Chains A and B, each alone.
Chain A
């Protein structure tokens, strides 16, 4: 089986999509992550849900995790409000963390076999990979779909 056989359509978000809207997409469609594409529709990065959480959290909680405990229950409930008024572009990892080599992106070619797909997912800690054919996105493969195809019957 090849990547093209597993690829399925997947909603994508753009850099200027509001962060709240993108997060809502994640929740409502139970997606494992967001595929962020540039103007030409080429996937820039795949943002797992945990990355979205990182940007909803204040930086000081990331610096010192014990500070999360001191918030009152009602204040802690509202932590996603930090996403208000921000765009997906602002949630992207800063330039220095962006993969420079194409091999360091969660992307596979249509003829990649299942083990190649698994290796990319494991290496990139990404629950989703995009299947890209000559710069054009054919679809994505989620970890569930990959495992569903690979598990012994």
Chain B
């Protein structure tokens, strides 16, 4: 099975076998850490790092075709890949409807050009859309229309853009499909769409309101109101953003069906990935969109990155590293799940602020899974998943590189002549993350551990 193990273990004594497997384990850890350093520092593109790492895992014998492609525990998690693919196709069609532009301008007019009201409404639209769709796509759609509205009312847009990307990361935390870490957690932990809705969404609604109040203070210098300029907003015609009303009606109908499918997926015995793919298929058929158009939104580099990552993490699981770490964690935690949840919440937030939260969650979730399995169904163990999700998702707000959406918005801001520096974003990000993650702790404690 393992090229190197066979090569090294040319002898037959158990002594040689053991030293060969130790060597493979050491090499596997080294390759994993090396690839992680490349991903975190961006010395090479993250896709190259993940694929390169996966390739070396094969060469050193930490994984093989069966382990990498066909084993649920140690290989590519196809549920994650196809859920992402399905949602990307749905977004690809939805994007062409002009719905987001319509909603954002409608909101700005409802706010009658008052800056904070506009920010609050745009953030709400962003948060809700991010809970249902990919965060990056949501901010890509909301950022340009925000620039237009800010241009019209004569305020600088930086604060609006920063607030929106944070609203996107917060809103995405609420559902299974909102943020890629949640998709990974759901698949590993076999949690349903409704599990996320019941356990995370209520807290996210509260924390989002707190975030808006904080934004009122954080970005207070962005809210200069000029009644003359505000009138310019009322002249924009949002209905013209919708180019094809029939396409919009069909897309919204399918989107509603997909959401119903997600809510009922356990009862229907359909995996979320299949709900997304069926929805994508239906939407492609009823919208009549050209192949190139609906595939344009599919981020192949992201999907390939996930595959490479899963193979690398699978290698770690396969050689037993995750198992040993899991045992150590089980010993350390004992039955003190509150301490484990606390560590997981704050630790995940710190790590996700520094490195991409997707590789982090992909690596840590098999470990958390071991921990929960060993608990034998103890109360409080299952809530470790929520601590992980909240820490990893909300931690993405802390720095300019904490989440992909942050990077994308900073790019748009720069191209539009309003550059936002790494530190400027991070100054706001640290405040928002510290507050939201700290609020998550009493939520977890009161709901899962206090009584």
Contact = CB atoms under 8 A, between A and B. Distances in A.
Interface of A: 58-61, 63-64, 66-67, 69-72, 75
A67 B101 contact: yes
Interface of B: 98, 101, 105, 140-141, 143-145, 147-148, 151, 232, 235-238, 240-241, 243, 412, 415-417
B416 A67 contact: no
A144 B416 CA distance: 35
Nearest to B100: A64
5 contacts: A59-B415, A63-B140, A67-B145, A69-B243, A70-B237
Contacts of A75: 232, 235
B151 A70 contact: no
B101 A66 contact: yes
Q: Which of A61, A69, A70, A75 gathers most chain B CB within 10 Å?
A: A70
A58 B148 contact: yes
B147 A59 contact: yes
A64 B101 contact: yes
A66 B416 contact: no
Given A59-B415, A60-B416, A70 B105 contact: yes
Question: Which label, helix, strand, loop or mixed, suits the secondary structure of the A interface?
Answer: helix
A59 B145 contact: no
Contacts of A69: 237, 240-241, 243
B241 A66 contact: yes
B242 to A, nearest CB: 8
Given A58-B147, A63-B416, A70-B236, 16 more contacts: A58-B148, A59-B415, A59-B416, A60-B143, A60-B148, A60-B416, A61-B144, A61-B148, A63-B143, A64-B144, A66-B98, A66-B241, A67-B145, A67-B148, A70-B105, A71-B237
B234 to A, nearest CB: 10
A138 to B, nearest CB: 37
Contacts of A58: 147-148, 151, 416
A93 to B, nearest CB: 12
Contact of A64 (B141, B151, B417): B141
The 8 closest A-B pairs by CB, nearest first: A64-B144, A60-B144, A60-B147, A59-B416, A63-B144, A69-B240, A72-B235, A66-B98
Given A59-B415, A69-B241, A70-B240, A64 B145 contact: yes
Contacts of B143: 60, 63
A70 B238 contact: yes
B237 A67 contact: no
B148 A72 contact: no
Contact of A67 (B232, B235, B241, B417): B241
A67 B412 CA distance: 15
B235 A60 contact: no
Scoring B144, B235, B240 by chain A CB atoms within 10 A of each residue's CB, the highest score goes to B144
A60 B145 contact: yes
